[in-house]
Amino acid sequence: MRKLLFTLIILALAIMATSCSSNNDKKKEQKNLYDQIKDKGFVNIGTEGTYSPFTYHDQSGNLTGFDIDIANEVFKRLKIKPKYIETKWDGMIAGLDAKRYDLVANEVAVRTDRLKKYDMSDPYIVSKAVLIVGKDNHDIKTLNDLKGKKVGQSLDSNYRKIAEDHGATNTVVDGFNQSIDLITSKRIDATINDSLSYLDLKKHKPNLPIKIVYEEKNATSNAFLFRKNSDELVKAVNGALADMKKDGTYLKISKKWFGTDVSK
């Protein structure tokens, strides 16, 4: 009888311990991403690190750029330390899906198809797509002239879709700089990319034999990218962005990199 009573007590304690553990696990699961990040004290951010002037390494090897400055300021205001995980653009969104990081800061274009699958912050930069060719190229003047031509675009870039929709054949590149190298070596005919990236490149390398032959009329908005249901984190980031614009910090960062307000 005593043996049976002892066994029942042990069994009851085990059930209680399992129940407590299960409840604790449920509480952890119920915590939203923003609360989890605050508990840790840091946020993991996916970025390219090779896309000047938005995210790249300076001469000292430090990660820098417009997007990096914006993200650093946002999370400074939220009292959370940003930790950057660098990866190639073509695998960046897959890395977000796999929870390698909590968001992406890499001048990600706001698109309808992305908004169906992901959360995005309020836009923090607008830019226009430009068509870039070699200086001695006189065949390509508009997007319609890309039919049958070779372009260099990242695999998951919205620019790749634009080029292919106009009949171009794409050579997959790791980033903007590689596409420019392929143009100057005459292995491709053109690339579509960000006007601000082009201006930054020409500022540092004015003698590069490339030119813009076409610029889109409509600007593209760009924002931070999050997994779906990151509502509280997105809300906090949007609040910080709004405060930065209100107190002039955003304009200061914008002028540092571009000499003008790139939010408009």
What are the pLDDT digits (tens) for 210-245?
999 999 988 889 999 999 999 999 999 999 999 999
Helix axes 231-246, 66-77, angle to 10 degrees: 100
**Tally of residues, the chain:** 264
Using pLDDT thresholds of 50, 70 and 90, give the confidence band for residue 7.
low
Residue 158: per-residue pLDDT: 83
CB atoms under 10 Å from CB of 259, counted, come to 10
Report the C-alpha gap between 62 and 262 in whole angstroms: 24
Q: Is 228 left (phi over 0), alpha (psi -120 to 50) or beta?
A: beta
Under 8 Å between Cβ of 154 and 160: yes
- What is the value of pTM for the model shown? 0.76
Query: What single DSSP character describes residue 261?
Result: -
Report the C-alpha gap between 246 and 251 in whole angstroms: 9
Tell me the average pLDDT across 175-201.
93
Mean pLDDT taken over the chain: 91
- Whether 33-122+222-258 shares its CATH topology with 129-215 is answered yes
Residue 174: per-residue pLDDT: 86
Report the C-alpha gap between 6 and 51 in whole angstroms: 67
CATH superfamily of 33-122+222-258: Periplasmic binding protein-like II (3.40.190.10)
Domain range summary for the chain, segments of one domain joined by +? 1-30, 33-122+222-258, 129-215
Q: Which residues of 29-52 are buried (b: 16+ CB within 10 A; e: fewer)?
A: eeeebbeebbeeeebbbbbbbbbb
For the chain, percent of residues with pLDDT exceeding 70 = 89
**pLDDT single digits (tens) 100-151:** 999 999 999 999 999 999 999 999 999 899 999 999 999 999 999 999 999 9
**CATH code that applies to domain 129-215:** 3.40.190.10
